Amino acid sequence: MRVVALISGGKDSCYNMMQCVAAGHQIVALANLRPAENTGQTDELDSYMYQTVGHHAIDLYADALDLPLYRGFIKGTSVNTGRVYTTCQEDEVEDLYHLMKLIKDKEGVEGVSVGAILSDYQRVRVEDVCRRLDLQPLAYLWHRNQEILLKEMISSNIQAIIIKVAAFGLDPDKHLGKTLDQMEPYLLELSEKYGVHVCGEGGEYETFTLDCPLFKKKIVVDSAKVIVHSADAFAPVAYLHFLKLHLENKVESSGTFMVNSCSCEVSCNDNDIFPSSEEDEPQKNSPVIWKSLKHNSLDFTKTFGSSGKSLSGYQWFSGITAHFLPSKGKNAQEAAREAFSSLQANMTSEGLKLKDIILVHLYMKSMKDFNVINSVYVTEFDLCPPARVCVETLLPDGVLFCIDCLAHKYDIAMDDVLHDEKLVMHVQSISHWAPASIGPYSQSIKVEDSETYHDVTAVCGLLAVVVISHLPRDAAIEWHVVAVVDDPLQRKHFAMKMFSEGFQIECESVESSSASCASISVRLSLISPSASQLDLDGPLHDLVAMFRQAVEKLSEDCSASPLCFRAFFKEDVFDAETLQTGLQEYLEKYLGKKTPALILVPVVDLPGKEVIHVTCWLS
């Protein structure tokens, strides 16, 4: 991509440029915002968004890189300071928008290099500007380990000096003007003693880059003076004001280190990931004939369902289907919109809105339709979309996709305040932290504040492994987790097993230490299919009966209700309609009003001799 780099003069924006180049992008322009001349704050502006100390030397920085520099004035202030940014004309973010729009129009850029490491505040606002201008943010430093990152910067020959200090332990007389290499041992010591961020992410210090492998020339500081902003006895705030600088030609050195490749782009082939051996080959099941087998495919028009609403406000919806038959003159976009309209109508009937959805499972007939479906999907949710699992699976002809989703909304106010705020992580910048998980979905959503435990020992929850036909972006694995903040050492576990002629049923459950939620897993395995026909009614009855036992085994303190009953099944073993009918019948028989939403997912394969793997979340 053609990329414009947001620069402050500091180490972070410089190193992110190096990462962009290593990933194959081309830096074609630089962008910088500086204090407006009429503010009277010509050195440093009190800004939540921008580093302005050292901005007098930015023109020289651009000359060193030999790239066009676009500069704008910071006219606005920090007005909209919420976790989610929406356009506010008086906000300083809009100054960035106007500058980026100018650069896009003049330079034809597609991406923006951003040096953010830890600040959600900055990331969210840069991503908002990029979203409005259809630009891709590139934040390769995002959430990197700061100790490792600092070492990388130093070893990559970034020559940066400290130009501002503002933390306990940092002395203007001792530390201003020192290089990163000189400061690294002391910064690590301060981090160990006082929790100082070694990369200065808490505002402890700021830097200015004098040289790096991308520079055609290096910057030399001839003279500077120290400006004391606050002479605090414990944590004085002071910065360097450059008086005179000049450029010098660089002596070419064969020892100069350059980032050769992006660490996300690991070269490997399928054999590296999945070594092949006879033992690893999928086991072929003998053909099974079920007495109750019907040859009709599942009618997805009759599968919509929902669980009841749990005491803590959770509810699961299933069976939202997009029907697509080109012969009837309908296109894929129209089919997708109709499905979302159906979802909205069903949620409205329960007193919910689309913004209450926190998790979506999107099962697609073909990944070839991924972009088309995404183009509709992105219009249905706001700036804080739900988390999403999206895979291709074996859906019937005429079905474009199926959706099931989890919604959450408090029904009661606590302390006269309606608690409905969710903590959303919706990172849209490409980074080493999330090289592939970028799209119209959040990477994580947290609901309900609860006491946080700090135990380092954790007991793993229940794991479901299924093989489907295709993942987005040709990924090898998609990993999805529902987690609870509790004390993992106090969780309650339960397991049981049942044998019968021809099959085995295993069940496990884990209950949170707070008794507020639980997870149940039930697996049906064919041990030795007999030559005669097997009765499907028996296994389904016993499977649901064991599931009910697991629900009843939860502690007396646990008031969690089953919300979703997700049955992954081997498509070549079962008829979906028969499975649907049997499971629904027994769930309603044994659980009554607590019947969870039933979700059937045909898969290519399951581990070992499993033919059905049921997962259920209870809240």
pLDDT at residue number 279: 41
Identify the DSSP state of 118: S
Q: Structure tokens of 448? A: 């309900």
For 320-372, the pLDDT digits (tens) are 999 887 766 678 899 999 999 999 999 999 999 999 999 999 999 999 998 99
CA–CA distances in Å: residue 233 to residues 167, 168, 196, 236, 562: 11, 9, 18, 6, 59
Instruction: Express each pLDDT in 202-218 by its tens digit.
Output: 889 999 999 999 999 99
Cβ 210 vs Cβ 11: under 8 Å: no
Looking at residue 55, what is its pLDDT? 85
301's tokens: 């028009």
Give Cα 245 to chain centroid, integer Å: 43
Look up residue 575 and give its amino acid.
D
The runs of H, that is alpha helices, within 118-159 are: 120-133, 146-155
Q: Which of 208, 214, 199, 195 is nearest to 149 (CA)?
A: 199
CA angle, 616 then 617 then 619, to 5°: 145
Give the pLDDT confidence score for residue 95 in this predicted structure.
94
- Give me 477's structure tokens: 């694995």
What phi, psi does 560 have (nearest 5°)? Answer: -70, 140
For residue 300, how many C-alpha atoms fall within 13 Å in the half-sphere facing its CB? Answer: 25
Q: How far apart are CA 571 and CA 603, in angstroms?
A: 6
CB 170 within 8 A of CB 205: yes
What three-state secondary structure class fits 123? Answer: helix
| pLDDT value for 265 | 46
DSSP 437-450: --SSSBSEEE-S--
What the block records as the tokens of 336 is 């997708």
Distance between CA 36 and CA 40 in Å, rounded? 8
E strands in 231-306 = 237-249, 305-306
Closest CA to 315 of 345, 262, 358: 358
**Quick one: pLDDT at residue 455?**
39
DSSP code of residue 522? E
What pLDDT score was predicted for residue 456? Answer: 37
Give the residue carrying structure tokens 């976009």.
Answer: 333
pLDDT at 382: 81
Contact of 50 with 8, CB cutoff 8 Å:
yes
Query: How many residues are present in the chain?
Result: 619
Q: Which residues pair with 230 in a beta bridge?
A: 237
| DSSP class of 533 | P
Point out the residues of the chain with pLDDT beneath 70: 37-46, 252-303, 327-329, 410-421, 434-436, 448-461, 529-534
Residues 6+ apart with CB under 8 A from 414: none
- For residues 556-595, b (16+ Cβ closer than 10 Å) or e, as one string? eebebbbbbbbbbbbbebbbbbbbbbbbbebbeebbeebb
**Contact call for residues 589 and 595 (beta carbons, < 8 A):** no
pLDDT of residue 529: 60
d(C-alpha 548, C-alpha 34), whole Å: 65
**Nearest to 209, CA basis, from 56, 50, 9, 66:** 9
Under 8 Å between Cβ of 571 and 533:
no
Q: Spell 461-490 as b/e; 16+ CB within 10 A means b.
A: beebebebbeebeeeeeeeeeeebebebee
CA–CA dist 430, 428 (Å, integer):
7
DSSP for 218-244 reads EEEEEEEEEEEEE--SSS-EEEEEEEE
Query: For position 135, what pLDDT does the model report?
Result: 96
Q: Taking the model in full, what pTM does it have?
A: 0.81
